[in-house]
Amino acid sequence: MPSHRIVLTVAADQPGPGISRHLFGQFAEHLGSCVYDGLWVGPDSPIPNVRGFRQEAVAALRELRMPNLRWPGGCFADAYHWRNGIGPRDQRPRQRNDTWGQIETNAVGTHEFLDLCAQTGCEPVICGNLGSGTVQEMRDWVEYLNAPTGTVLADERAANGHPAPYGVRYWGVGNESWGCGGLMRAEYYADEFRRYGTYLGSYEKSALFRIATGPGLDDFHWTEVLMRACAAPRFNPGIMDGLSLHYYMNGGCPPARTQQHLLATSFGPEQWRTVMAHGWYMDELIARHSAIMDRHDPARRVKLIVDEWGAWYAPDPAPRPSAYFQQQTIRDALLSALTFDAFIRHAERVHMANAAQVANVLHASILTFGAATVRTPTWHAFHLYVPHQDARRLPVANSAALLSHDGLPYPRVSATASLAPDQSVTVTLAHTDPAEPVRIELQLAGRPAGARPVGRLLAAPELTDCNTPAAPDRVAARPWDDFRFESGRLTATLPPACLAAVTFR
Ligand code: AHR
């Protein structure tokens, strides 16, 4: 019998705020082999593709119901000039990508990116260049994308193959402007945001959702200044719709709270706990930034947009010579689950989030090895959370005491419950103990008898296992029915280090 027992009560008749599907977004930057090779192989590649994009990658992202994709950076966004990425592909300039020390062919530009969004069925999130661009360049890009034909820019879009306006809605006004995006002070950036934001057009099909560069990690001063200056300025109180937040559990850039040297696939109990505790720190970060936002915007009109998150490990003696390629283990799946749970706990304020990054870089859902596309344990965590997309959060009483590491708390079992529009209830359980099983008793209250639970479980044979072309499903979610369910009460023993999802219909 496990020595730990946890009692959870889900109030299924008390639906709370909506859980935006956009919390489960992804990020694709022109960095390493994320865009080139990870997603784009080109139309002439022997690797199966649709108009240049890997078929298997698109299929994997469709299965995740990826709600949005942020592009083209990251730091690269503030060095990117959109005109280099339109028109005949063979005439686009070949340039240096100085941000990441690689060659940029511009083969993936505006039209290709939006084709990828259409193929995967997601909304685009475009980050404009404030650092090295101009107001004119950024507003022209919006007009090129979104204006109906009849203007020079919209007609140019039509001539390039897309007569209908794209209707791009989510728009980042610069990226990490306190760092790679121009090393600006909060006060200076706030004025720049107001200036750029003023000229970004809203066209018929799209009311632009303007996202300001927000704080990195715990820069509460940045949040205070941005909210004071941009949450409701006189003459245009609606200019800022979102404020971003970047937090890498172990960066990298922005700096992490821990500078401990962590590797992706070789770790012991100490490093396991570091990832859990510093991962759950997202909850405190959001709470503290939100408290500042609440003072300036009690109606919560301005949303918090966590448009970069994930684990950023030190380079492993990796299977690939790139500082940004890293494998994923069950530890990363649990970090993902804790992060989702933190977002959902703050669903009133957090509207969107983007894992950094979607393929081959950092906290990736997809890894590619030549022609092979592999789904990582993080992909499986995203997949288990699909039922929470656009559902309503349900209260969960959790009897478990918090664990602690490095002076930071984290849950032994993090539980999230939601009520979907079809009235099904899904409960996800992230069990963070890597060594001991745990007994759970889950009471589904306020629900008519007769619900039937269907479960899936993600666990790994060994904690450091990962998926490869030779063993693509070593760490994969499988059907799970090793529980009892009577009178609305589910009892089960969860194995160490696992993520379970149960849907009651
Ligand atoms: O995701 C990698 C980089 O991390 C991004 O380009 C930047 O915004 C952040 O510092």
Which of 173, 211, 253, 322 for mutating ligand 1's site (highest number of atoms within 8 Å of CB)? Answer: 253
Residue 355 beta carbon below 6 angstroms from any ligand 1 atom: no
* Catalytic choice (112, 308, 436, 486): 308
> Could you tell me if 111 and 82 are in contact, meaning their C-beta atoms sit under 8 angstroms apart?
no
* Amino acid of residue 330: I
* Catalytic choice (176, 224, 436, 441): 176
CA 263 to centroid of ligand 1, rounded, Å: 19
Angle at 452 between CA 449 and CA 453, to 5 degrees: 125
pLDDT for position 56: 98
pTM: 0.97
For residue 42, what is the DSSP state? Answer: -
Question: Which DSSP helix (H) or strand (E) runs through 141?
Answer: helix 135-146
CA 253 to centroid of ligand 1, rounded, Å: 6
Q: What percent of the chain has pLDDT over 90?
A: 92
Which of 26, 75, 357 for mutating ligand 1's site (highest number of atoms within 8 Å of CB)? Answer: 75
- CA-closest residue to ligand 1 atom 1: 356
Asked whether the CA dihedral 406, 308, 66, 367 is positive or negative, the reply is: negative
Return the closest-CA partner of residue 147 out of 198, 208, 204.
204
Residue 75 beta carbon below 6 angstroms from any ligand 1 atom: yes
Q: How far apart are CA 409 and CA 311, in angstroms?
A: 18
Residue 308 beta carbon below 6 angstroms from any ligand 1 atom: yes
**Does residue 263 register a pLDDT over 80?**
yes
Residue 78 beta carbon below 6 angstroms from any ligand 1 atom: no
486 belongs to the catalytic site: no
For 98, other C-beta atoms within 10 Å of its C-beta total 11
Which of 35, 76, 175 for mutating ligand 1's site (highest number of atoms within 8 Å of CB)? Answer: 175
When pLDDT is averaged across residues 127-136 and rounded to a whole number, the result is 98
Token output for 100:
């990441």
CA 59 to centroid of ligand 1, rounded, Å: 26
Residue 244 beta carbon below 6 angstroms from any ligand 1 atom: no
Token output for 369:
């090895």
Question: Which DSSP helix (H) or strand (E) runs through 373?
Answer: strand 372-375
When pLDDT is averaged across residues 51-65 and rounded to a whole number, the result is 98
Residue pLDDT, tens place only, 16-26? 999 999 999 99
pLDDT classification of 190: cutoffs 50, 70, 90: very high
When pLDDT is averaged across residues 226-246 and rounded to a whole number, the result is 97
pLDDT for position 448: 78
- CA-closest residue to ligand 1 atom 10: 253
**Does residue 447 register a pLDDT over 90?**
no
- CA-closest residue to ligand 1 atom 5: 74
pLDDT for position 205: 65
Residue 175 beta carbon below 6 angstroms from any ligand 1 atom: yes
308 belongs to the catalytic site: yes
pLDDT for position 451: 84
Question: What contacts 291, CB < 8 A, 6 or more positions away?
Answer: none
Residue 323 beta carbon below 6 angstroms from any ligand 1 atom: no
pLDDT for position 321: 59
Q: In terms of DSSP H, where are the helices of 322-405?
A: 330-345, 377-384
Residue with tokens 């945001």: 193
Residue pLDDT, tens place only, 316-326? 765 665 779 99
Q: How far apart are CA 327 and CA 475, in angstroms?
A: 12
Token output for 77:
């966004």
